[in-house]
Chain A
Amino acid sequence: NAGVMQNPRHLVRRRGQEARLRCSPMKGHSHVYWYRQLPEEGLKFMVYLQKENIIDESGMPKERFSAEFPKEGPSILRIQQVVRGDSAAYFCASSPPGTGGDGELFFGEGSRLTVL
């Protein structure tokens, strides 16, 4: 049973370019979360999605960032016109349906974005 799959593992972009990060949740999981880890810091919540719905995007920057989780295919975190401050590790996590009380998340290995 494959875990949470993220790609690419490493991505280098120049300022002004777009970055797209993909996440396939564990089999049977319908909830996806994106977290950002800046250098030397902990993880900060960005967005929580279910299939075709954004449930909580309270941690998403207001501009340039967007996320989706379509009916078919992986979840996508999109960063437009990247700046150096976007350099970070972006972690995706998933959880099965109906686990509202426990809160255990299953994390991918992360996508490390470097903006030159």
Chain B
Amino acid sequence: GNSVTQMEGPVTLSEEAFLTINCTYTATGYPSLFWYVQYPGEGLQLLLKATKADDKGSNKGFEATYRKETTSFHLEKGSVQVSDSAVYFCAFHSGSARQLTFGSGTQLTVLP
């Protein structure tokens, strides 16, 4: 069935380090792919998205490329900041259903 496998956390990095959070999905067809971020005590906010193969979503220095051949959508940032500390969720929308399917989330802590 449809699922998202996301790199388990927690991940702890020093400020200005490089970040990668892996995400792969299992879905029928060609879903739209999303990264959502959840800051402490808040709801989810859309971070970036890609709707077709080879698209690159980007926002706030974060990037992710839709790789159809590897069914992946890995999140990267070249230089993380303390303010990036949050939980990051990978998700997809298959189009045939209105619901999003989420990964289990990756807790990121950035230390000064």
Contact = CB atoms under 8 A, between A and B. Distances in A.
B102 A100 contact: no
Interface range, B side: 20 to 34
Contact of B102 (A6, A43, A109): A43
B65 interface: no
A79 to B, nearest CB: 19
A95 B44 CA distance: 14
B38 to A, nearest CB: 9
Given A43-B89, A104-B34, 16 more contacts: A35-B102, A41-B105, A43-B100, A43-B102, A45-B101, A56-B97, A91-B43, A93-B44, A100-B95, A100-B98, A102-B49, A103-B32, A105-B100, A107-B44, A109-B42, A110-B43
Contacts of B6: 42
A107 B45 contact: yes
A4 B45 CA distance: 11
Interface range, A side: 20 to 34
Interface of A: 4, 6, 31, 33, 35, 41-45, 48, 55-56, 59, 91, 93, 95, 100-110
A60 to B, nearest CB: 12
Contacts of A59: 99
